[in-house]
A and B are shown apart, each in its own frame.
Chain A
């Protein structure tokens, strides 16, 4: 068994696709029209056949209170691995991305937490 899909709830799929591709650097893998929304996934260009991230509409009434409560306490919805958290922090901040946690050493890892502008906080992690 292995992880095939993981999802984040987003308030707007178009905006989410722009952020996850143009800013974070993922690439679109699947886009299937489904009524008002789409089955929309992105993957890492470093691992195009790896785990896909589903950009899932946040329309269910339970989603907004859940995501808002996580954001208010600074809790990330999910985490992505990077080679160098400080370099990514500088790059993304240069692109106007907001961070709720600056790079922080946590024993063997360095993390930072950013706002994906679509309703979630995302942690980036560097394993040394």
Chain B
């Protein structure tokens, strides 16, 4: 699970997808592709973006929901807490100068 998470975050395109979903949840594949091309000049194909989304979904960083005939993608930040709690432990009073 953690390996999936780090692998998902290692790719710059996938980090951009997360940036865009952080700005607005509930985007279609078309909107995500549009944002990557127009805001970031990224020329990836739709198939490539779709595969990046599948990796993000496997790491539970992106969740999809079907609403009638549409499919929307949402950001899920819960797995990031694993990273924070792994290294950022709460400091005890004697640690702080």
Name the residue on A nearest B39 (C-beta).
Answer: A106
Q: Mark A97-110, 1 if CB is under 8 A from B, else 0.
A: 00011101111000
Identify which of B24, B29, B39 contacts A73 (C-beta below 8 A). B29
Report, as a range, how many residues of chain A touch the other chain. 10 to 19
Residues on B with beta carbons closer than 8 Å to the beta carbon of A115? 69-70
Identify which of B30, B39, B46, B71 contacts A101 (C-beta below 8 A). B30
Assuming the contacts A68-B69, A100-B70, A102-B24, asked whether A74 and B35 have C-beta atoms less than 8 A apart, the reply is no
Residues on B with beta carbons closer than 8 Å to the beta carbon of A104? 31, 34-35
Assuming the contacts A100-B28, A101-B30, A102-B24, asked whether A72 and B35 have C-beta atoms less than 8 A apart, the reply is no
Q: How far is the CB of A96 from chain B (nearest CB, A)?
A: 14
Which residues of B are at the interface with A, using a C-beta cutoff of 8 A?
24, 27-31, 34-35, 38-39, 46, 69-72
The 10 closest A-B pairs by CB, nearest first: A74-B28, A74-B30, A106-B38, A73-B29, A101-B31, A75-B30, A71-B69, A72-B71, A107-B38, A100-B28
Which residues of A are at the interface with B, using a C-beta cutoff of 8 A?
68, 71-76, 100-102, 104-107, 111, 113, 115
